[in-house]
Amino acid sequence: MEVARSKKGICVSKRKYTVDLLRETGFLGSKPADTPIEENHKLGYKKGEVPVDKRRYQRLVARLIYLSHTRPDIAYVVSVVSQFMHEPYEEHLGAVHCILRYLKGTLGKGLFFKKNDSRKIEAFTDTDWAGSASDRRSTTEYCTFIWGNLVTWKSKKQPVVARSSAEAEL
């Protein structure tokens, strides 16, 4: 983990880890992606899909989970691809490859804790009602800022199917 200090604040990143991951997977020379997943892309299971090497997929997603500790910008999409670790297919591996191409274009990103006079605590949350194409369950996300700095974030699939958007948000 790299830590850089300045008069403006502290930056925490895993740039070397990301470069090593891209080198090992062959994506260091790839064309960068603007986003970690295509907009409105729903991953699920479809008939006729080709399975991929389960161990390789699990290892790759586990490394992305570790990386998401300092990269909240990939937390949601990593939680989505991790739902298919027990039975991954080419579509799921393609989504992981999109994350890797996104990381290629955002090597310097990490957490920045800025010096701030603001003493506010803020929290934001959102839910995608029935967002999972495979089981219709909703995903809830939240993030918390203390003094203007991101300190916690989470994205988690709900354990039951919500019958309405209001129920999903509860």
Predicted pLDDT at 107? 92
104-141 burial, b at 16+ Cβ within 10 Å, e below that, comes to: bebbebbbebeeeeeeeeeeeeebbbbbbeeeebbbbb
pLDDT higher for 68 or 41?
A: 68
Domain coverage including residue 144: 117-170
Q: Are residues 150 and 71 in the same domain?
A: no
Q: Residue 67: which pLDDT band, with cuts at 50, 70 and 90?
A: very high
What's the average model confidence in pLDDT over 117-130? 84
Pairing of strands 2-5, 149-157: unpaired
Q: Are residues 100 and 39 in the same domain?
A: yes
Predicted pLDDT at 127? 79
- Is the pLDDT score of 106 beyond 90? yes
Q: Are residues 106 and 121 in the same domain?
A: no
**At 43, is the secondary structure helix, strand, or coil?**
coil
Q: Are residues 74 and 108 in the same domain?
A: yes
Going by C-beta distance under 8 Å and a sequence separation of 6 or more, which residues neighbour residue 96?
57, 60, 61, 64, 81
- CA gap 47, 89 in Å, rounded: 11
Predicted pLDDT at 58? 97
Between CA 69 and CA 118, with CA 2 as vertex, the angle to 5 degrees is: 70
Q: Are residues 105 and 26 in the same domain?
A: yes
Q: Are residues 108 and 44 in the same domain?
A: yes
- Is the pLDDT score of 162 beyond 80? no
* Share in percent of the chain as helix, strand, coil (round to 5): 35, 25, 45
Residue 31 φ/ψ, nearest 5 degrees:
-75, 130
DSSP 107: T
Q: Are residues 111 and 123 in the same domain?
A: no
- How many domains in the chain? 2
Q: Are residues 22 and 80 in the same domain?
A: yes
- CA gap 12, 53 in Å, rounded: 33
Residues 111 and 13 sit within 8 Å (Cβ to Cβ): yes
Predicted pLDDT at 163? 63
Q: Residue 89: which pLDDT band, with cuts at 50, 70 and 90?
A: very high
Q: Are residues 76 and 138 in the same domain?
A: no
| Structural Rg of the chain based on CA atoms | 17
What's the average model confidence in pLDDT over 118-143? 79
Instruction: Look at residues 69, 88, 115 and tell me which one is the last residue of a structural domain.
Output: 115
DSSP 49: P
Q: Residue 39: which pLDDT band, with cuts at 50, 70 and 90?
A: confident
What's the whole-model pTM score?
Answer: 0.79
Q: Are residues 48 and 121 in the same domain?
A: no
